Structure 1
């Protein structure tokens, strides 16, 4: 076998290892020995060998037949591997290994990690928003105001960015109080406003509408307070 033939043969013998598995196998509670065993099983499956015996696994690893038997049992108990029963066209039953439980566990771990990351980001954003609101009010928030702020996020599911946009809207309107901010958020939610950009467009539309309905003289007199009175809606 020349070098080119050997290179082609090696390419056919390669096993694809998901990067997510390499990066997160310890999160799944796997050690290196268990990871290598699973990769060998994947290799057998790719080659069409659906039932991997402890002896076959032992021939590829530095483990005895008995140790490989225990290792396979452990992987099944820990739901990293499953042994499934199937039947062929003639009705003959046979057993096959499946790595589907491993991939499902990996997905669950990644989803849990993403959820923890999102929760930490939400806590960080809430703390930042709390400081921004206190800065605009020029004083510490009362317990009731702090509870209201948390309810906007936890119960009403308003994004912190949208709450801050409502705060700025209240500042522009010259009505800096929580009742007014709550009314703004209520109107935005009722009208399907979900982002600060949508809120800005919505507010500008109402300002332009109210100003065009007023006499020119009145517009000049009230031009210094361009806010829209959400409490009157």
Structure 2
């Protein structure tokens, strides 16, 4: 057992990114090519920049011609290249280079991030539509759906701001997109673009609301909506 442990430790370990294992197919690498990569990575980690195809074939139980074919495929599919490097003794030699593979993986990560952002935006949009339908107690008409889409896409109102306007409309028992639109416009005129900014503005105006006479004549084009905390349910 001690001899085995010594051999096990002496053989060393090969470092492999789990991201590659998760996404090797998505960057165009086959399972056989991945096995070739693992063998190449093993030798490269041990300091051999251009491993011998015969040794790789022996480890995998394949013939050398198959190894050469897979290496050629990986180069033609731009998963790797062969470059010239200078060793520690100043000698130039050929080496396998996997920077193209790393670049593909990085591009894939960027695409995943964009997809996640897009999906998050889609989820937020659905949340807004569902919340309005739930509070109004009815399905939205195509015209109403278009108006809400304009809030999001043309006016660039944040979903949280639209939901806050919905909450104020519900508290005023005004189940109308026109009423919500007046609220949103009033916030836009005050350059309030987030729910936090709206709350701070409400808190700033709270003393004025308390001092305002209840029988004051006249009205305003902007809805007089109740003050509430964002943590209210």
Contact 1:85 1:94 in 2 (8 A): yes
Q: Tell me how far apart the structure 1 counterparts of residues 182 and 159 of structure 2 sit (CA, whole Å).
A: 17
Structure 2 match to 1:180: 182
Distance 1:192 1:129, change over 3 A: closer
Contact 2:57 2:67 in 1 (8 A): yes
Q: Tell me how far apart the structure 2 counterparts of residues 58 and 65 of structure 1 sit (CA, whole Å).
A: 5
Distance 1:88 1:20, change over 3 A: closer
Question: Would you say 1:103 and 2:102 are equivalent positions?
Answer: yes
Structure 1 match to 2:221: none
Contact 2:157 2:193 in 1 (8 A): no
Q: With the length of structure 2 as denominator, give the TM-score of the two structures.
A: 0.73
Any stretches of 5+ residues in structure 2 without a counterpart? 217-223, 228-233
Structure 2 match to 1:154: 153
Structure 2 match to 1:32: 31
Q: Tell me how far apart the structure 2 counterparts of residues 129 and 187 of structure 1 sit (CA, whole Å).
A: 22
Structure 1 match to 2:67: 68
Q: With the length of structure 1 as denominator, give the TM-score of the two structures.
A: 0.73
Q: Tell me how far apart the structure 2 counterparts of residues 143 and 47 of structure 1 sit (CA, whole Å).
A: 65
Any stretches of 5+ residues in structure 1 without a counterpart? 220-224, 229-233
| Alpha-carbon offset, residue 7 of structure 1 | 4.2
1:184-227 CA-partner distances (Å, limit 9, x unpaired): 56257x3452xx4x146324324414325535x669xxxxx653
Question: Would you say 1:208 and 2:209 are equivalent positions?
Answer: no
Q: How many residues align?
A: 216
1:103-124 CA-partner distances (Å, limit 9, x unpaired): 2222322332343344334323
Root-mean-square deviation (CA, aligned residues, Å) is 3.3
